[in-house]
Amino acid sequence: MAPAPNPNFSATAVLARAGSIGLARLSAVALPHLAAAVLMMWTETDFGSRTCFLLSWAILNAFWITLLRRPALSGALSLTLVVVLVLLSRLKHDVVQMTANFVDLMVIDRDTASFLFTIFPDLRWSVIAAGLVTIPLMYALWWLDPFRIRRLPAAAFGLACLAALAGHALAWPDEDWRGYYDDGYLSKFARSGVTAAYDFVHYGFMESDAVVKERLNVPLLDSCHPAGRRPNIIMIHDESSFDIRAAEGVRVPAGYGSHFKSFDGKERTFLAESNGGPSWFTEYNVLAGLSSRSFGRFAYFVTRIASNRVERGLPLSLRRCGYQTVSLYPAFGGFMSARSFQTTTGIEHFYDAHDLGARDVEPDSFFYDKALKLMADHSPASPLFTFVYLAANHFPWETRFRPDLLPSWRPTGNRRVVDEYLRRQAISAEDYKAFLAGLKKRFPGQPFLIVRYGDHQPEFSPHLLDPGLDEAGIGKKLETYDPRYYATYYAIDAINFEPVKSPAMMDTIDGAYLPLVVQEAAGIPLDPSFAEQKQIMLRCKGVFYACGDGAEARRFNRLLIDAGLIRGL
CB 193 within 8 A of CB 538: no
C-alpha to C-alpha distances, 449 to 371, 491, 516, nearest whole angstrom? 14, 11, 14
Q: What is the pLDDT of residue 533?
A: 97
Q: What does the pLDDT average to over 143-149?
A: 73
Same domain, 147 and 22: yes
Distance CA 154, CA 75 (A): 13
| 456, pLDDT greater than 80 | yes
Q: What is the pLDDT of residue 200?
A: 83
Q: What is the pLDDT of residue 228?
A: 72
The DSSP call for residue 40 is H
Same domain, 90 and 175: yes
pLDDT band (50, 70, 90) for residue 9? very low
Same domain, 191 and 236: no
Same domain, 122 and 268: no
CB 283 within 8 A of CB 338: yes
Q: Tell me, what CATH number does 272's domain have?
A: 3.40.720.10
Q: What is the pLDDT of residue 489?
A: 98
> How many percent of the chain have pLDDT more than 70?
86
| pLDDT tens readout for residues 177-211 | 677 777 888 888 888 888 888 888 878 889 999 99
Same domain, 243 and 153: no
Distance CA 251, CA 15 (A): 74
| 498, pLDDT greater than 90 | yes
Same domain, 357 and 488: yes
Poorest-pLDDT segment among 33-42, 131-140, 506-515:
131-140
Q: Is residue 145 part of a domain?
A: yes
Q: What is the pLDDT of residue 90?
A: 81
pLDDT band (50, 70, 90) for residue 117? low
pLDDT band (50, 70, 90) for residue 476? confident
Q: What does the pLDDT average to over 502-530?
A: 96
| 2, pLDDT greater than 50 | no
**DSSP letters along 484-504, please?**
HHHB--EEEEEES--PPP-TT
| 126, pLDDT greater than 70 | no
565 closest CA partner among 400, 319, 363, 346 = 346
Q: What is the pLDDT of residue 66?
A: 92
Q: Is residue 416 part of a domain?
A: no
| 6, pLDDT greater than 90 | no
Q: What does the pLDDT average to over 373-396?
A: 92
Poorest-pLDDT segment among 60-74, 273-287, 455-469:
60-74
**Long-range CB contact pairs, 433-442, < 8 A, 24+:** 434/365, 434/368, 435/364, 435/365, 435/368, 435/371, 435/372, 436/493, 436/495, 438/368, 438/369, 438/372, 439/372, 439/495, 440/495, 442/372, 442/375, 442/376
Q: What is the pLDDT of residue 251?
A: 95
Same domain, 331 and 396: yes
Q: Is residue 180 part of a domain?
A: yes
Q: What is the pLDDT of residue 233?
A: 98
Same domain, 125 and 193: yes
| 21, pLDDT greater than 70 | no
Q: What is the pLDDT of residue 3?
A: 47
Q: What is the pLDDT of residue 222?
A: 59
| 262, pLDDT greater than 80 | yes
Q: Is residue 441 part of a domain?
A: yes
C-alpha to C-alpha distances, 172 to 187, 358, 409, 531, nearest whole angstrom? 12, 44, 49, 42
Q: Is residue 301 part of a domain?
A: yes
| 353, pLDDT greater than 80 | yes
Predicted TM-score of the model (pTM): 0.82
Same domain, 239 and 180: no
Q: What does the pLDDT average to over 538-543?
A: 97
CB 172 within 8 A of CB 190: no
Same domain, 150 and 40: yes
Same domain, 236 and 171: no
| 301, pLDDT greater than 90 | no
CB 504 within 8 A of CB 539: no
CB 209 within 8 A of CB 557: yes
Give helix 151-171 / helix 185-203 axis angle, nearest 10°.
Answer: 80
Poorest-pLDDT segment among 233-247, 460-474, 488-502:
460-474
Specify the DSSP element, H or E, that contains 71: helix 71-96
Poorest-pLDDT segment among 56-60, 131-135, 246-250, 467-471:
131-135
Q: What is the pLDDT of residue 492?
A: 98
pLDDT band (50, 70, 90) for residue 426? very high
**Domain housing 265:** 232-248+259-408+426-527
Q: What is the pLDDT of residue 96?
A: 64
Q: Is residue 186 part of a domain?
A: yes
Q: Is residue 445 part of a domain?
A: yes
Q: What is the mean pLDDT of the chain?
A: 87
| 151, pLDDT greater than 50 | yes
Note the helical H segments in 443-460: none
Q: What is the pLDDT of residue 71?
A: 82
How many distinct structural domains can be found in the chain? 2
CB 542 within 8 A of CB 506: yes
CA dihedral (462, 392, 513, 569) positive or negative:
negative
Same domain, 64 and 111: yes
Q: Is residue 523 part of a domain?
A: yes
Q: What is the pLDDT of residue 229?
A: 80
Distance CA 351, CA 328 (A): 5
Q: What does the pLDDT average to over 540-566?
A: 95
Comparing 221 with 524, which gets the higher pLDDT?
A: 524
